[in-house]
Structure 1
């Protein structure tokens, strides 16, 4: 019997993960059964269990993948030179994040926002996922600190505020947009860009001195 190529194995694993992501985004982790995943992937139980022992392992794999891809987008943004203003930066990053899963399985909207909200809820009760999410958040936070320090070094942002505080605030803006997108539908990223631009237009007399 000929050996199955690594490319074929990787493609089958991708097929399973994509099917599980669609199920989880649509119905949540708890309402999704392995039978749902098997049906969505159009595979037998043996084919799926060759790669994953069960739903918990599937969830962990998807969480790791989502965090890795999102972290990669933020790390790439930290290398841009010159750094664009925060409204442009966050808008560009959000388009890249949401675009990663846009159209998966024939869906017009990205799966990422719904998956992320599901992940946030699940980590409140799952210590293993909480640890994974904590590591992922630390990975995302590092490049944003570098971005803020870049603004401060360029003299376009006041340097007396800790870079970590600003980084957490920018991440919160991104997270809030993701939550709105997941809850209320296709919210335009331009809304966030314009809002940030308006907030940045407020001058602080103390900052000038």
Structure 2
């Protein structure tokens, strides 16, 4: 029997994850059955279960993959000289993971999927641990970027790095919530709004 290549295994896993994400985004987590996933990806139950043992495993894998991709983008940004400003960086990350992430799924549907993942953490300890790990990782990455901003003279030395991290994460979470609820926002709007706020000259008022 011919040996299955790693490229084939990776491609099959990608096919399953993308199909499951489309199903969850379109119909909701609880309304989607594994049979729906099988039909979406055009594979048998055995083929899918070879990679994932159920919906919870699929959602966990989607969340872990998203955090890994975001981490990579942030780590690359922190190595740039000068590093991209928060508006440019946050806008780029949101475009990549909310507007271009899943072929065939619109960004409002994917934002709704993220909201569903957040709510699932209230009952799924494993998923809650994944989300907490990602959240703390984002805080650490933003703190590293604040240090990079300081080194390049882009931010004052007395600014609390973790406060900046929490504020920018909250901005991203707010964008996701608006997209899920109303569907009338874009990453470009976020970039423009952050750029406008960053342009305020608060020192001139003193």
User: TM-score range with shorter-chain normalisation?
Assistant: 0.7 to 0.9
**Residues 1:202 and 2:200 aligned together:** yes
In the alignment, what sits opposite 2:28? Answer: 28
Residues 91 and 60 from structure 1, CA distance in 2 versus in 1: closer, same or farther, beyond 3 angstroms? closer
Residues 2 and 154 from structure 1, CA distance in 2 versus in 1: closer, same or farther, beyond 3 angstroms? closer
Secondary structure in 2 matching 1:43 = coil
Q: After superposition, give the CA deviation of every residue in 1:75-131 in whole Å (9 maximum; x if it has no partner).
A: 2222221123332332233223335415x1x34547653332221121122111010
Equivalent residue runs for 1:9-158 within 5 Å? 9-102=9-102, 104=103, 106-107=104-105, 109=107, 112-158=110-156
Give me the TM-score of the superposition, normalised by structure 1.
0.86
Q: CA deviation at 1:164?
A: 0.5
Structure 1 Cα separation of the partners of residues 128 and 204 of structure 2? 40
Unaligned runs of 5+ in 2: none
Q: CA deviation at 1:13?
A: 1.7
| Kept after mapping to 2: 8 A contact 1:101/1:111 | no
Residues 204 and 123 from structure 1, CA distance in 2 versus in 1: closer, same or farther, beyond 3 angstroms? same
Structure 2 Cα separation of the partners of residues 123 and 107 of structure 1? 23
Q: CA deviation at 1:207?
A: 10
Give me the TM-score of the superposition, normalised by structure 2.
0.87
Q: CA RMSD in A?
A: 2.4
Q: After superposition, give the CA deviation of every residue in 1:30-85 in whole Å (9 maximum; x if it has no partner).
A: 11111111111111112112222222222222221122112222222222211233
Structure 1 Cα separation of the partners of residues 8 and 84 of structure 2? 41
| Kept after mapping to 2: 8 A contact 1:17/1:58 | yes
In the alignment, what sits opposite 1:191? Answer: 189
| Kept after mapping to 2: 8 A contact 1:109/1:186 | no
In the alignment, what sits opposite 2:8? Answer: 8
Deviates more, 1:189-198 or 1:107-116: 107-116
Deviates more, 1:71-80 or 1:147-156: 147-156
Residues 153 and 30 from structure 1, CA distance in 2 versus in 1: closer, same or farther, beyond 3 angstroms? same
Structure 2 Cα separation of the partners of residues 158 and 150 of structure 1? 11
Structure 1 Cα separation of the partners of residues 90 and 59 of structure 2? 28
